Structure formats: structure tokens, C-alpha cells
Amino acid sequence: MQTYRNTLNGTLVDPVSCYEIFNPANGQSLGMAPESDEQEVDRAVQSAKLAQNSWAKQGDKERRDVINRVAQILEENSDYLAELITREQGKPLSGPGSRFEMQACVGWTQVPASLDLPPEIVYEDDERKDTLHRVPLGVVAAIAPWNWPLMIAIWQIIPAIRMGNAVVLKPSEYTPIATLEMVRLINQVLPAGVLNTVTGDGSIGSKLTHHPEINKIMFTGSESTGRRIIEASAKNLSPITLELGGNDAAIVMPGTNVKNIANDLFWGAFLNMGQTCACIKRLYVHEDDYDAVMAELSAIASQMKIGDGMDESVLVGPLQNKMQFEKVQELVSDAKTSGCDVREFGEVPDQGYFMPLTLVGDIKDGQRLVDEEQFGPALPIIRYRDLEDAVESANGLDAGLGASLWADKPAEASKLATRLEAGTVWINQHGAIHPMVPFGGNKASGYGVEFGIEGLKAVTQSRVVSLKK
């Protein structure tokens, strides 16, 4: 059985201890993952600290060239890493699955390498000239989730090192293997110590975020963990980028041609089996259009094959872990007990964390499946009579990552868009992120942004040089 290893200071290190990782589709063992301790966390941070100074001193062009070489390695190894993602995380190879995730890894590496963030003259007159520079923060602690393990890790790693920081990455304890292999591969071109890993459960993440040499924290995960990270950051006054998930609302405006939007609505909700922060988690439909929406989504769901994602014909895989599987089952069971119209689609394999694609109608605000982020393949569809009521419902929860409006006349939707309390409001699409477009949450979905120029700024600190003429 293969034992995977952490990378510290550019070298694979023998694990302190290990634990076994299993395929969520069939329960087969994938190998042993390392489990760090406090001493290994300290070694990783010290390695990053020692490497960061010389990395920051390299010219901007040199760093960009190295990152472009990282993109080449990701592209050359995309098939290998995609198969690891499918076996470990569960998402299918095909469709918007593991190969798609690897394409995103390449793109989100190339784009930061292409961007310029030069010094900016913010004020000048006859007597003075003030120039704003963006300089590295130092050592970045990056904590990645299990739903898009490599893609979100890249979102954290690449902007940070692009701007001259060094990184200590902790992947989720549920999905460490593919991430460790990705880090091993890209360390072939990175200077030793610029990118290090530690692994384990939340206690290791806590040791990392509490470490006195951490200068920035980037975290994607739950709100409860995010609040603990905020507390941890107080010791060092470390700036934070937090993406704490969402309970995204989508509103289909009255009279919209449902056939034109049904496929995009479906994947907006069921991408990665609903295990995506910016998925549609609540769908609000006018009462006159409700039956048509249910019929169209039912027709699509009934055609989907559920199974092991290594099968090229499969587009819907398992949930990633038992905890999430049981949570979604509980929420669907609550909806059934409450008398909701629960419609389940797809033949579910006998083993693995598989659930049918589930549409839940005759449900209202205040019920658990609506108010709690399910993070799984169960979509509540809520009738509304007045559009103002739908907007009020969409804004009624603390979550505020994404939202969407769906309409035959996008101009009408645009008038409503800024009233939805979310970091991104999409029109006739959902979850359509782009490496040039800032992305982040409002309210309890976190703060700070990633991607594009604003994402580069978020992993730097400003330094003003003020010259007296």
C-alpha cells in the first residue's frame, strides 16, 4: 500500500504517523496519508520563512516564468491528477468533473502569471511624489477544502507565490492524496521552501493558523471554522481571506421560458453533486411557472447516470464522505416527514456514498432544507407570488456568497441584481466564476476577495514611498 508524503523545504519527508484514505464510490483503499504533528507544522513554517525572503527578491519576471512552468507541469500531469481526484473526492472524470477541475487549475495558474501590478503614483505635485507599492506579506497559511481540493488550493497558492510570499498548505483530511501529489510535482520547478504542506485534521489547521510566524491566512470551509480562524488571527494581527460557503438563492423571474434555462439551472444546483459553495441551494419560482420548472428539472435529472466517476458515461458521482452523506440524508428525511413533494431520480449503486438526485417541492422558508446549507444533491424549490417576496426570501439568511436571477429579459434582472445581498449576482447563469473577476462573500459567507488584480492585492501589503522634490 502506497504511503504519500508531505513536502517540506522541497523534500518529501517520512510521515510522523499515517491514516488510510478510501474511495467514496466503492470503499477501496487508496493508500496512507501522512498526519503531521506540531513539530512538523513548525518545520514547514520555518522552511517557508527562510525561503520567502530570497523568493521575494527575485524579479517579477522571474517569478512569473516559474509560475508558467508550474502551469506546464499541471497540464502535463492533468490526466494523472484527475484520476486521483475522482478516486479520492468522487467527482466524475467526465463533464464538469475532475478533468474540468484540472483545466481550472491550469487556467488559474496562467492568469495570475499574466497580470501586472506595478507601483502606482497616487499623488504628485511640484513638491512631492507618492508611490504605492505592493509588497509580500511573508508566510501564507492556506487551508483548502475537500470539494474542489486541487482547484481551490491553486486559488490560494498561485496568487500568494506570484506576489513573493511563501505558502504552507493544509489540504482537507478527507482529500489529501491528490493535493500532496500536485504539490510534489510542482515543487520540481519551485525553489525549495516556497510551497510546503502539512496534513491532518482541524487540530493541525489550528496549529498552523496560531503559529506566530504566519503573516496571512487563506481559508475556504465552514462558517464555524472560519470564526475560530478569526480568533486565531488576532494573535499576529494576520490579515485573512475567508470563503465560508453559501446558501445561494436563485430566482426565476415570472414568465421566463423555462426550457431555455433548465439545463443551466440543473447544473447550477447539481455541479459536483451539489458540493460546491456557489451552487444553487434554494430555487425560488413564481407560482405560475412552478409546474414547468419541476417538469423540466425532473426530465433532466431522470436522464443522469449515477455511479463511479471512473466510468466515462457517468456525470453524477457520490458524496465525498460519510458525514456529508448523513447530513443530506437527514435534511431530505426531514422534508419527507414535513409532507414536502420529494422526487428522487437515478439508480443508486449498492455501495458508496451515493444519493439520488432529489428535487423537493411544496417547501417553504423556515424548513431545514431551505435554511441550512445542504451541500448535496437535494434542491428545494419554493413557490413565490410576488417578486418582492422572493427578493426578501433570498436575502433572509445570513449567507451571502452568490445569487442568481433568471429572465428572458436580462435588463429587467439587472435592475434587481444589486438588491441581492451576495458577493456575486449572476444573471442567467450561476457559479460562473472567472480568474479575472473578483470573487468573495458577503455577510456570514466571509470577507476578502480572490482572483484577478484584487486577488493579487489581497496577498500583499501596501507600502507608500513619499518623495520630497
The per-residue DSSP string of 351-367 comes to SSS---EEEEES--TTS
Residues 6+ apart with CB under 8 A from 125: none
Q: How far apart are CA 132 and CA 243, in angstroms?
A: 28
Dig out the grid coordinates for 90 from the structure: 468522487
Q: How buried is residue 42: exposed, middle or buried, by Cβ count under 10 Å (0-12/13-18/19+)?
A: middle
Q: Which residues are catalytic?
A: 243, 277
HSE toward the beta carbon, residue 372, CA cutoff 13 A:
15
- What angle in degrees, to the nearest 10, is found between the helix axes of 290-301 and 258-270? 60
Answer yes or no: are the C-beta atoms of 375 and 146 closer than 8 Å: no
- Sign of torsion over alpha carbons 71, 440, 279, 25: positive
- Sign of torsion over alpha carbons 193, 198, 204, 206: positive
Select from 150, 152, 321, 275 the least CA-distant residue to 220.
152
Count of residues in the chain: 469
Strand partners, 121: 131
Q: How far apart are CA 429 and CA 299, in angstroms?
A: 20
Residue 402: alpha-carbon gap to chain centroid: 12
Select from 159, 155, 160 the least CA-distant residue to 137.
160
Which helix H or strand E contains 177, and what residues bound it? helix 177-186
Answer yes or no: are the C-beta atoms of 8 and 44 closer than 8 Å: yes
The identity of residue 15, as a single letter, is P
